[in-house]
Structure 1
């Protein structure tokens, strides 16, 4: 498993080192990942960064860190660089975005299982109930590029990802009266890849749509690589990424209300 953690973020510079309720974002992500892979065979954890201070911060948490080229533009590309630097390149790679420390329970195991069953790319999604959809819409009024939704086929194939809320809902009022869940799926910041899919991704230039949305997984869809989406239960904590100071304040309010879900580092 690779945690990409670059220094440059236009909305939250040096994001991995930002504090959330007394602990850095990176240390929280490492602790969550370490707890999630405990007991899973053949799993290693490494932070991939382009910044010496971030690398040292990862090592202070007892996590291996590797330096990767600052010119690498995506977390997926950074995960591949870290993977092929291993003594033996793994055939399956899990990319846990460094700004997503609050994962749904079982999401990591589900992604790994899907890869081992033959998926080329796998990623979790959460079905939003109507209250969660209302909350997402309200949040996007203030932070329109925080949080990603997914349109998916009935067999679980991703059709599209967007920073907009997709699909649009015709006759929503009637649907609210009859269905407990909205038709909106929220994407979780966790990806699993076969190494060949990730290598093809990295060999291909960013696409125009990928650049417009700011979502690297759209390159996979445009390449014709199927992305398997895996429904997982919603976590107590909002699973969207930490992109702004407002996101940090929201998570700190949840911690104050419900307690801290992040395991302690050993």
Structure 2
């Protein structure tokens, strides 16, 4: 089950799911991207979880089922779990596809679904950074140190840690640069899929001290002893994090004008 949390309240961008980006709403863009990723999988349902009648109607206008959830739910993961609990049959897994992030890397959602189907308790995408991308991230963090998350992962793909700092530290970097065009740094993509029981445990647990220090809720999963499988994906057509402000909309519209629109048509 793929859930798109789409609440009405947003202090920086009111009624965000309904806002237009290059003539198409944020919610309809996310639905279109999700449908393409789900493809012909008959066992994966797509649901919008909202607290607003107009947003629900907007989802239904795109042919997507909508579930009304309590406006007091503060997080996307909590809203996704509430939508799952509202189903007649408990889903095996739940993917929390943030409604304000329609420009995910191609293949990211499909890769998370595949990992969950193969038995992962939690799955999330990562992008291997080449040296130019790592240099750009380092430069960006000089201005915005808490923007962008990196991941240290084991040889089997399990996440060992996530951080707002760039991990791992790199000794003998000149030698590594000469040896390979790809750095050892992985950037995390904020898309999560959970086995039902893993999401239930996560939501029932209080935030941890390390989670609060880094501002990364996935650290709670690691501290609970729940494995997170990372799935490598290619970089997106253009790099855009969540849409949170008017400036974000303007930036993405400029990227669309320059590079074309990556969002598929609604089917």
Name the structure 1 match of 2:207. 206
- Whether the 8 Å contact between 1:74 and 1:216 is mirrored in structure 2 is no
TM-score normalised by L of structure 1? 0.89
What residue ranges of structure 1 are gaps of 5+ in the alignment?
none
Name the structure 2 match of 1:117. 118
- Whether the 8 Å contact between 2:116 and 2:194 is mirrored in structure 1 is yes
Name the structure 2 match of 1:100. 101
* 1:68 maps to 2:85: no
Name the structure 1 match of 2:255. 254
Structure-2 change in CA distance of 1:248 and 1:147 (3 Å): farther
- Whether the 8 Å contact between 1:48 and 1:68 is mirrored in structure 2 is yes
- Whether the 8 Å contact between 1:146 and 1:243 is mirrored in structure 2 is no
Rounded to whole Å, the distance in 1 between the matches of 2:206 and 2:149 is 22
Name the structure 1 match of 2:48. 47
Identify the range of structure 1 (209-218 vs 198-207) with the bigger mean alpha-carbon deviation.
209-218
SS for the counterpart of 1:154 is coil
**Deviations 1:173-217, CA, capped at 9 Å, x for gaps:** 443333211222111222221111111111111223323433222
Rounded to whole Å, the distance in 2 between the matches of 1:19 and 1:27 is 9
Rounded to whole Å, the distance in 1 between the matches of 2:210 and 2:3 is 26
Identify the range of structure 1 (146-155 vs 38-47) with the bigger mean alpha-carbon deviation.
146-155
Query: Structure 2 matches for 1:159-178, cutoff 5 A?
Result: 159-178=160-179
User: 1:116 Cα deviation (Å)?
Assistant: 1.8
Rounded to whole Å, the distance in 2 between the matches of 1:6 and 1:208 is 27
Rounded to whole Å, the distance in 1 between the matches of 2:70 and 2:144 is 30
What residue ranges of structure 2 are gaps of 5+ in the alignment?
none
Structure-2 change in CA distance of 1:165 and 1:222 (3 Å): same
SS for the counterpart of 2:192 is strand
Structure-2 change in CA distance of 1:244 and 1:32 (3 Å): same
Query: Structure 2 matches for 1:175-190, cutoff 5 A?
Result: 175-190=176-191
User: 1:52 Cα deviation (Å)?
Assistant: 3.0
- Whether the 8 Å contact between 1:96 and 1:191 is mirrored in structure 2 is yes
Name the structure 2 match of 1:234. 235
TM-score normalised by L of structure 2? 0.89
* 1:79 maps to 2:77: no
Identify the range of structure 1 (101-110 vs 31-40) with the bigger mean alpha-carbon deviation.
101-110
Structure-2 change in CA distance of 1:134 and 1:94 (3 Å): same
* Superposition RMSD in Å: 2.2
Rounded to whole Å, the distance in 1 between the matches of 2:12 and 2:163 is 18
- Whether the 8 Å contact between 1:146 and 1:241 is mirrored in structure 2 is no
User: 1:32 Cα deviation (Å)?
Assistant: 0.5
Structure-2 change in CA distance of 1:166 and 1:150 (3 Å): same
Name the structure 1 match of 2:133. 132
